[in-house]
């Protein structure tokens, strides 16, 4: 990985390059920040820069044998530790190096959920086990392949179990010569305080909106959509990529959201009895379709989360806080007329009912009853006056 291949983070890049040029190489560093901002990429680029024999002031050369091995994540002095789920394939990270290298080389930006999918598991109980600490010791005891540094990158160190964390602490207290630990964490506060005190923390900031938009445009996205998504991403390039990948799903969720609240408004507010009756029938059909087993509980929960987000955005639009409003173009178009109906008198009740429905779905409740009850609650709440 070359520094120039990483989106933004120029200040952090300069900090890392300068430390190498001046020979100030901490034996352990912690790259901390939210998901999808390039922490792992910075660690990889730093490891390569540290070992490149022909580096410049700005970057690794990218062409020497060392760089080529690092680019493939196959340099003998580059080691990885990451959360795994024990399977018949093995119970240490070495058994999962192939999918690990593949996800880095193909996805670049990914999170723990993406890693679980790459492993073919849906559980969130992946962990770095005690046995891994023995593997760390074994690898670092080996003679270095080159004249550079042995680098141990630990991704998501907060997933270490207690035994592994305690053993890592002992290793950090007595580091081997020319050995560098690079910890990449989204939740550094979850690490042992004694580990935190033995690493140099680098706070990796969120990306700028224009940096994300530019990167999306380089992937072929038009400027308007890239700008909208970059704003919603809140500094995470990974969040932007996931938003872009889910565009078809988002359109369906917006369609379902509009259908729910348009018919709830018709039944609750309008006077025409025939329109009320027709809308009530559509709401009943909507609840049946949302409860269909083909939709699935994950999709149902995701819709309810999306609905809560859109209610929030419409309320913010209604109270005239455009700087805090994060919506796509088609969502904004609906909000022009819908936002006035989300106000102090009903926003809390609407959010509570959506949250309740989400929790009931999570608890495997009867989806048909949950969604039809939600419809009835929205009919009552949408007609509430402002407080």
> What is the mean pLDDT of the segment spanning 346-367?
93
Q: How far is residue 350's CA from residue 345's CA, in Å, rounded to a whole number? A: 10
> How far is the CA of 222 from the CAs of 32, 133, 214, 241, in angstroms?
32, 47, 10, 14
> How far is the CA of 174 from the CAs of 12, 28, 61, 113, 150, in angstroms?
27, 11, 32, 34, 15
For tokens 């939709």, name the residue.
295
- What residue spans define the domains of the chain? 3-205, 214-240, 247-382
Per-residue pLDDT tens digits for 49-87: 999 999 999 999 999 999 999 999 999 999 999 999 887
Radius of gyration, alpha carbons of the chain: 25
Opening angle at CA 35, ends 32 and 37, nearest 5 = 80
> What is the mean pLDDT of the segment spanning 7-36?
94
Fold of 3-205: Rossmann fold (3.40.50)
Per-residue pLDDT tens digits for 38-59: 999 999 999 999 999 999 999 9
Q: Residue 324 above 70 pLDDT? A: no
Q: Residue 287 above 70 pLDDT? A: yes
Q: Are strands 179-185 and 200-203 parallel, antiparallel or unpaired?
A: unpaired
Per-residue pLDDT tens digits for 202-246: 999 999 999 999 999 998 888 888 888 888 888 999 988 888 776
Class of 247-382 in CATH:
mainly alpha
């Amino acid at each position: 990985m070359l520094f120039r291949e990483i989106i933004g983070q120029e200040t952090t890049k300069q900090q890392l390059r300068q430390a190498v040029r001046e020979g100030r190489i901490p034996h352990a560093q912690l790259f901390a920040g939210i998901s999808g901002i390039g922490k792992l990429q910075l660690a990889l680029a730093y490891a390569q820069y540290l070992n490149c024999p022909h580096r410049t002031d700005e970057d690794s050369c990218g062409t020497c044998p060392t760089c080529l091995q690092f680019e493939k994540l196959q340099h003998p002095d580059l080691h990885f530790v990451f959360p795994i789920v024990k399977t018949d394939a093995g119970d240490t990270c070495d058994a999962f190096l192939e999918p690990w290298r593949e996800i880095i080389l193909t996805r670049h930006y990914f999170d723990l959920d993406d890693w679980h999918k790459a492993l073919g598991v849906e559980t969130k109980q992946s962990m770095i086990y005690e046995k891994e600490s023995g593997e760390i010791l074994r690898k670092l005891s080996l003679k270095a392949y080159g004249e550079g540094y042995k680098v141990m990158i630990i991704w998501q160190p907060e997933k270490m179990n207690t035994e592994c964390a305690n053993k890592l602490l002992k290793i950090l207290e007595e580091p081997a010569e020319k050995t560098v630990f690079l910890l990449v964490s989204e939740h550094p506060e979850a690490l042992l305080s004694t580990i935190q005190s033995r690493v140099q923390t680098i706070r990796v900031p969120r990306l700028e909106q224009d940096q994300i938009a530019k990167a999306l445009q380089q992937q072929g996205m038009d400027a308007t959509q890239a700008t909208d998504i970059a704003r919603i991403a809140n500094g995470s390039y990974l969040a932007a990529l996931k938003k872009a990948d889910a565009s078809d799903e988002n359109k369906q969720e917006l369609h379902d959201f509009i259908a729910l609240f348009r018919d709830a408004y018709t039944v609750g507010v309008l006077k025409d009895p025939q329109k009320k009756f027709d809308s009530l029938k559509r709401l009943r059909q909507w609840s049946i379709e949302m409860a269909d087993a083909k939709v699935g509980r994950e999709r149902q929960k995701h819709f309810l989360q999306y609905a809560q987000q859109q209610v929030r955005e419409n309320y913010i639009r209604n109270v005239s806080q455009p700087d805090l409003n994060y919506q796509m173009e088609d969502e904004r178009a609906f909000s022009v007329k819908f936002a006035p109906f989300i106000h102090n008198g009903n926003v809390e009740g609407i959010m509570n009912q959506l949250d309740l429905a989400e929790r009931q779905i999570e608890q495997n409740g009867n989806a048909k009853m949950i969604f039809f009850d939600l419809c009835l609650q929205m009919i009552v709440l949408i007609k509430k006056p402002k407080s």
